[in-house]
Copies of this chain bind each other. A is one copy, B any other.
Amino acid sequence: MQKQVEYEQAIKTKYPEQVVIAIAKDKNGKANPVTLGWTMIVSGAPPMMAIAVAKRHYSIETIRHSKCFTISFPSSEMADAALFFGSKSGRDVDKFTEFDCKTESAKEIDSVLLSDAVANFECTLESETAAGDHIIFVGRVVCSHINTNSKKRLYTVGPGHKLGTAN
């Protein structure tokens, strides 16, 4: 049976929620990673993925500037990186300088991949749509990569950015 409650209470049932790290370069060529829980696949053929980014985030500028971005699936060992990239702003710091996280060049777009991630998807910007306090960016996947070792994905498993595995 259902009972009506405030949204803030109901949405606590969403966990585990997948985590991705989106990366785009700013106008100075600095690659800026941001941790996001609001993401989904949106098309099978051609393959496309969407992310929702808060309007106040520096990532909005970087994605609009470079018109491409990486979607990286962090591994369960990357919780500290995910927390750091999700709590600092690229306006203030160079996140990849401040936090040691191995990267490698993307193949088809001007961005970077996370070497220790489960997978990385290189996306070209397909569209953007405003939705409340966020912007939905849709990216077309033009190149895909997986880790040479088997890894588990990182999830938010509870309120307060509690991270872990889900399986």
Chain B nearest CB from A78 CB (Å) reads 14
Interface segment, A9-17, A25-33, A60-68, A81-89? Answer: A9-17
The copy count of this chain in the complex is 2
Residues of B within 8 A of A118 (CB): 13
Q: Contact at B50–A52, with CB atoms within 8 Å? A: yes
- Given the contacts A131-B42, A131-B50, A138 and B141 also touching, CB distance less than 8 Å: no
Q: Contact at B46–A132, with CB atoms within 8 Å? A: yes
Chain B nearest CB from A92 CB (Å) reads 22
Could you give, for residues 44-57 of chain A, a 1 whenever the CB lies within 8 Å of some chain B CB and a 0 otherwise? 11111010100000
Grouping DSSP codes into helix (H, G, I), strand (E, B) and loop, the A interface class, with mixed when no group exceeds half, is strand
Q: Contact at B136–A2, with CB atoms within 8 Å? A: no
- Given the contacts A13-B146, A144-B7, A144-B10, A132 and B43 also touching, CB distance less than 8 Å: yes
Q: Is A166 an interface residue (CB 8 A)?
A: yes
Q: Is A101 an interface residue (CB 8 A)?
A: no
Chain B nearest CB from A49 CB (Å) reads 9
Nearest neighbor of A120 in chain B, beta-carbon distance: B2
Q: Contact at A2–B42, with CB atoms within 8 Å? A: no
Mark out the residues of chain A between 130 and 146 whose CB falls within 8 Å of any chain B CB in the assembled complex: 131-134, 136, 138, 140-141, 143-146
- Given the contacts A5-B145, A113-B2, A153 and B43 also touching, CB distance less than 8 Å: no
Residues of B within 8 A of A155 (CB): 16, 166
Q: Is A24 an interface residue (CB 8 A)?
A: no
Chain B nearest CB from A53 CB (Å) reads 10
